[in-house]
Amino acid sequence: MSTPQPPMPQAAAPDWQAAASGSPYPSYTSPIPVVRTHLGHAISSEWTKIRSVRSTVWTLGVFLLLVVGIGLLVAALVAANQGEESLSGQNPLSFGVFGLLLGSMCIITLGVLTTASEYGTGMIRTTMTACPSRARVLAAKAIVFFAVAFTVTFASVLLVAVADVAMLKGARSPSGGEWLKGTFGISLYIALLGLLSLLVGSIIRHSAGAITIMIGLVLAPLVIALFMFSSALEKVRQALFDYSIPNQLSAFYTNTLSRTGPTGWDPVWIALGVTAVAFAGAVALLQKRDV
Amino acid sequence: MIEAVGLTKRYGDKTAVYNLSFQVRPGAVTGFLGPNGSGKSTTMRMILGLDNPTAGQVTIGGYPYPKLPNAPRQVGALLDAKAVHGGRSARSHLLCLAQLSGIPARRVDEVLGVVGLQEVARKRSKGFSLGMGQRLGIAAALLGDPQVLLFDEPVNGLDPEGILWVRNLMKALAAEGRTVFVSSHLMSEMALTADHLIVIGRGQLLADMSVTDFISANSADFARVRTPDTEPQLREKLTSALTEAGGHVLPEQDGALRITGLPLPRISDIAHDADVRLWELSPHQASLEEAYMRMTQGAVDYRSTIDQKSGLMQPLPPGAQPPMPVPGQGQPDWYAPPSPQEGGQPFAMPQGQPGPYGAGQPPAGPYGAPGAGQPNPYAQPAPAAPQAPAAPPAPPAPAAPADLTKPEDAR
């Protein structure tokens, strides 16, 4: 493989004069120009990282399969079984929610892996040595992951939405606002959910633990609400149900204000607030803890 | 230049590193030695700003690591060869590090060539052997062409050719005026590579001196004298003559004498005057390994013991001899022969002599230099294993002198 010859011939002409003054010790100056690093460098590095591991391909591949596959399957089934009037007044985009609910697990997994896998493999020590600004690393990870998650979600949701509208002739045609909420809005929400997972991964530092917490967050409120039979707990039960993530997802497809719980763009604001708090917490912990 | 001042790190109530002060100067390879769990890796992590010190500080070129302008261009480190995402190819791994510190991508292929990994550059590092992982880690350390290099156990798992390469690499890097700080457990390697040594034990500084000083300060150089086997009375005669002349004589098991405190020509003269013929008169100098073992003996946390297999052994048939234990196994003081004298003078650190880097305060604490007149705690032959084996049917291993035949072979 290698030979015991003097290494790095390209470094053979160090600039001896540069740092020799003032110090009693010899000094070495690299011929490679030193640049001032900024967030852009960290972002390009994180982009290289996220596209050079197979877990990205796998999680996003399964996500596409679930969202597009189930979305089209549901649309086809509904289209085949619809009666004359059964779909009238329905928003055709809403049939995409089933695939998206399952697919969100993939985004959660990818988000957690983006940070927690570095702790699992020890890569984080290499990364933090190469970039001592810990907040910059986390910010770059968040930006790159959010961009990837949003783009993939938006593309697949848009595809399913177009197919739904084309296949379900009986349903009403959605308004511009509904289109925006049902594609752009829900993609934003899913990407924020993934970003929250990324931050939880950074806080927990353990892939399996963080994924479990996030899946619990998605499913637990609904499951807990199902078992609250007592009428004394009726209010808690309703709140749990209203703010459970599956219910928040469905809010992107309804226009009615009569229902309780979040409506309109509320879920996005809620997710944004929670994610911002998690981000601040993750940065504070990152600065305080040893890597 | 790496400079640590009063560096202390506590994890809960366990103190990993305590009040460590040292300097690592450019232009030399500085070895960093210590038993397992002595705080070497913790110190290295603190140098790199990965762990925050509980007290004290460590600077590189005058700055704490996180404050260094473009730190990866000034400091390169191999901390752990497995600190790599196994699913990423060697090239992608180096590329993302290069992008993070603004190094042109061309440099990635260069360092892959330097460490000899071009052919597997696009393979996932999960499948790499330990040696290939080390090469990848060294490539990452060299990536920024930095002025300060830290290597934690760089030769772990390398083939002999790789070890030779790393040895030459360290020397070449230091010769270019860089600061090279290397931890290793391979004493023979350190003796060949390092110019200077920093030794810690249980998180405290034991020694900060050049390799030659370290060996002469921590080992007993002695002369071995052999008189004709046929005439035991000559041996008695020489022993008393040498003792009279101020030498310290310790008989070895095979009949030779181990003599300290007298130069070789003087021993020859005394033998001549006493009319004793000599079959052997040879000088013996200890290796770095022996010197290290002697110094760190009291600071070893994880010590091996004899595998007794108690309760698992078949009862010996009557009349059968139990097997002799293999020499050296589980005998903690094997490397450190009992002192040939009680005073411990040959083990004393050079007193009052400032270290070559100014930081030469003699290491204090229980492992430090024994003061004048104070017996060296390691000079006495240590009793056998700390937990004396109760069960083994084996006869006690041949007592201390048996150990003396070994150490100089360890070089």
Searching chain B, which residue's CA lies closest to the CA of residue A120? Answer: B85
CB count within 10 Å of CB A50 equals 20
Question: If you write DSSP's letter for every residue of A105-136 in order, what string do you get?
Answer: HHHHHHHHHHHHHHHHHSHHHHHHHH---HHH
Residue B208 has phi, psi (to 5 degrees) of -145, 90
Dist. CA A93–CA A38, nearest whole Å: 42
Instruction: Indicate the number of domains in chain A.
Output: 1
CB contacts of B115 in chain A (<8 Å) are 2
Q: Which of B13-22, B270-279, B329-338 has the lowest mean pLDDT?
A: B329-338
Dist. CA B21–CA B29, nearest whole Å: 18
Q: Which of A144-153, B146-155, B273-282 has the lowest mean pLDDT?
A: B273-282
Pairwise CB contact (< 8 Å): B101 & A290: no
Return the residue in B8, B10, B100 with the most chain A beta carbons within 10 A, the one to mutate for interface testing: B100
Instruction: Please report which confidence band the pLDDT of residue A7 belongs to, taking 50, 70 and 90 as the band edges.
Output: very low
pLDDT in tens, A54-113: 999 999 999 999 999 999 999 999 888 877 667 777 888 888 899 999 999 999 999 999
Residue B410 has what pLDDT? 41
pLDDT in tens, B305-317: 878 777 777 777 7
Dist. CA B389–CA B126, nearest whole Å: 43
- Across the interface, of A27, A54, A55, the residue whose CB is closest to B177 is A27
Cβ-proximal residues to A116 (8 Å cutoff; 6+ apart), any chain = A201, A202, A204, A205, A206, A207, A210
CA of A6 vs chain B CAs: smallest distance (Å) = 6
pLDDT (average), residues B278-291:
83
Q: Which of B150, B175, B30 is nearest to A28 (CA)?
A: B175
pLDDT (average), residues B388-394:
45
Residue B220 has what pLDDT? 66
* Contact (CB, 8 A) for A239 and A217: no
Q: Which of B311, B330, B333, B314 is nearest to B322 (CA)?
A: B314
Dist. CA B221–CA B60, nearest whole Å: 38
Residue B323 has what pLDDT? 65
pLDDT (average), residues B187-205:
91
Q: Which of A260-269, B91-100, B348-357 has the lowest mean pLDDT?
A: B348-357
- Tokens 């490397």 map to which residue? B335
SS3 (DSSP) at B200? strand
> Is B351 a residue whose pLDDT tops 80?
no
> Is B95 a residue whose pLDDT tops 50?
yes
pLDDT in tens, B25-59: 999 999 999 988 899 999 999 999 999 999 999 99
CA of A29 vs chain B CAs: smallest distance (Å) = 7
Pairwise CB contact (< 8 Å): B66 & A34: no
| Burial bucket for residue B278 (CB in 10 Å: 0-12, 13-18, 19+) | middle
Pairwise CB contact (< 8 Å): A6 & B168: yes
Searching chain B, which residue's CA lies closest to the CA of residue A129? Answer: B48
Q: Which of A110-124, B312-326, B367-381 has the lowest mean pLDDT?
A: B367-381
Pairwise CB contact (< 8 Å): A14 & B177: yes
Q: Which of A199, A245, A240, A198 is nearest to A219 (CA)?
A: A245
* Axis-axis angle for helices A97-121, A54-64 (nearest 10): 170
Return the residue in A51, A126, A138 with the most chain B beta carbons within 10 A, the one to mutate for interface testing: A126
Q: Give ipTM to 2 decimals.
A: 0.86
Pairwise CB contact (< 8 Å): A27 & B102: no
pLDDT higher for A208 or A25?
A208
Pairwise CB contact (< 8 Å): A8 & B101: no
Helix (H) or strand (E) holding B311: none
Cα A240 to Cα A220, A248, A272, distances in angstroms: 9, 11, 19
- Find the distance separating the first CA and the last CA of chain B, reported in whole Å: 32
Instruction: Please report which confidence band the pLDDT of residue B334 belongs to, taking 50, 70 and 90 as the band edges.
Output: very low
Dist. CA A144–CA A162, nearest whole Å: 27
Domain of residue A146: give its range.
38-288
Dist. CA B182–CA B184, nearest whole Å: 6
Instruction: Please report which confidence band the pLDDT of residue A180 belongs to, taking 50, 70 and 90 as the band edges.
Output: very high
CA of A148 vs chain B CAs: smallest distance (Å) = 17
Pairwise CB contact (< 8 Å): A7 & B87: no
Cα B272 to Cα A161, B241, B266, distances in angstroms: 108, 11, 10
Pairwise CB contact (< 8 Å): A1 & B87: no
Dist. CA B77–CA B58, nearest whole Å: 16
Helix (H) or strand (E) holding B97: helix B90-100
Q: Which of B270, B299, B204 is nearest to B7 (CA)?
A: B204
- Sheet containing strand B28-33, edge to edge, reads B75-78, B148-152, B179-183, B28-33, B196-201, B204-210
Residue A58 has what pLDDT? 96
- Across the interface, of A6, A127, A291, the residue whose CB is closest to B172 is A6
In a domain, A28, yes or no: no
CB contacts of A31 in chain B (<8 Å) are 145
Pairwise CB contact (< 8 Å): A2 & B114: yes
Pairwise CB contact (< 8 Å): A126 & B83: yes
| A/B interface, count of CB pairs below 8 Å | 168
What's chain A's average pLDDT?
87
> Is B350 a residue whose pLDDT tops 60?
no
Residue B5 has what pLDDT? 95
SS3 (DSSP) at B205? strand
Instruction: Please report which confidence band the pLDDT of residue A51 belongs to, taking 50, 70 and 90 as the band edges.
Output: very high
Cβ-proximal residues to B408 (8 Å cutoff; 6+ apart), any chain = B284, B286, B287, B290
Dist. CA B15–CA B20, nearest whole Å: 12
**Cα angle vertex A179, ends A177, A183, to 5°?**
125
* Axis-axis angle for helices B106-115, B130-142 (nearest 10): 140
In a domain, A2, yes or no: no
Searching chain A, which residue's CA lies closest to the CA of residue B140? Answer: A126
pLDDT in tens, B107-120: 999 999 999 999 99
Parallel, antiparallel, or unpaired: how do β-strands B14-24 and B179-183 relate?
unpaired
Residue A112 has what pLDDT? 97
CA of B207 vs chain A CAs: smallest distance (Å) = 22
Pairwise CB contact (< 8 Å): A129 & B87: no
CA of B187 vs chain A CAs: smallest distance (Å) = 21
Residue B232 has what pLDDT? 83
Dist. CA B292–CA B286, nearest whole Å: 10
SS3 content of chain A, % helix, strand, coil (to 5): 70, 0, 30
In a domain, A257, yes or no: yes
pLDDT (average), residues B70-95:
91
Q: Positive or negative, the Cα torsion across B336, B337, B338, B340?
A: negative
In a domain, A29, yes or no: no
CB contacts of B163 in chain A (<8 Å) are none
B102: left (phi over 0), alpha (psi -120 to 50) or beta: left
Helix (H) or strand (E) holding A143: helix A134-167
Dist. CA A240–CA B252, nearest whole Å: 84
CB contacts of A1 in chain B (<8 Å) are 116-117, 135, 161-162
Searching chain B, which residue's CA lies closest to the CA of residue A115? Answer: B85
Instruction: Please report which confidence band the pLDDT of residue B401 belongs to, taking 50, 70 and 90 as the band edges.
Output: very low
CA of B406 vs chain A CAs: smallest distance (Å) = 33
Dist. CA B267–CA B240, nearest whole Å: 12
Q: Which of A277-281, B5-9, B73-77, B244-248 has the lowest mean pLDDT?
A: B244-248
Q: Which residues pair with B145 in a beta bridge?
A: none
pLDDT (average), residues B270-288:
86
> Is B360 a residue whose pLDDT tops 80?
no
In a domain, A267, yes or no: yes
CB contacts of A28 in chain B (<8 Å) are 26, 147, 176-178
> Is B370 a residue whose pLDDT tops 80?
no
The three-state DSSP-derived secondary structure of A182-241 is: HHHHHHHHHHHHHHHHHHHHHHHCCHHHHHHHHHHHHHHHHHHHHCCCCHHHHHHHHHHH
CB contacts of A125 in chain B (<8 Å) are 45, 50, 79-80, 83
SS3 content of chain B, % helix, strand, coil (to 5): 35, 20, 50
| Burial bucket for residue B62 (CB in 10 Å: 0-12, 13-18, 19+) | exposed
Parallel, antiparallel, or unpaired: how do β-strands B204-210 and B257-260 relate?
unpaired
Pairwise CB contact (< 8 Å): A128 & B84: no
Dist. CA B367–CA B296, nearest whole Å: 8
CA torsion angle B82 B84 B86 B91 (round to 10): -120
Token duo for residue A268: 């996005």
> Is B393 a residue whose pLDDT tops 70?
no
Residue A255 has what pLDDT? 62
Residue A50 has what pLDDT? 95
Pairwise CB contact (< 8 Å): A7 & B73: no
Distance of alpha carbon B286 from the chain centroid:
13
pLDDT (average), residues A13-37:
67
Question: How much is the pTM?
Answer: 0.78
Searching chain B, which residue's CA lies closest to the CA of residue A128? Answer: B50
pLDDT in tens, A195-248: 999 999 999 999 999 999 999 999 999 899 888 888 888 888 888 888 899 889
CA of B365 vs chain A CAs: smallest distance (Å) = 29
Within B8-83, residue ranges assigned H as helices are: 40-47, 71-74
Pairwise CB contact (< 8 Å): B176 & A14: yes
pLDDT (average), residues B349-373:
41
CB contacts of B16 in chain A (<8 Å) are none
Q: Which of B248-252, B270-274, B330-334 has the lowest mean pLDDT?
A: B330-334
Pairwise CB contact (< 8 Å): A37 & B1: no
CB contacts of B93 in chain A (<8 Å) are 52
CA of B130 vs chain A CAs: smallest distance (Å) = 15
SS3 (DSSP) at B23? strand
Cβ-proximal residues to B72 (8 Å cutoff; 6+ apart), any chain = A129, A130, A131, B97, B100, B101, B103, B143, B144, B146
- Across the interface, of B52, B100, B178, the residue whose CB is closest to A28 is B178
- Across the interface, of A1, A14, A26, the residue whose CB is closest to B116 is A1
CB contacts of A10 in chain B (<8 Å) are 110
Pairwise CB contact (< 8 Å): B95 & A48: yes
* Contact (CB, 8 A) for A156 and A130: no
pLDDT in tens, B244-261: 888 888 888 888 888 888
What's chain B's average pLDDT?
79
Residue B408 has what pLDDT? 42
Residue B297 has what pLDDT? 79
* Contact (CB, 8 A) for B205 and B46: no
Pairwise CB contact (< 8 Å): A132 & B71: yes
Dist. CA A122–CA B140, nearest whole Å: 14
CA within 13 Å, CB half, A18: 10
Pairwise CB contact (< 8 Å): B65 & A132: yes
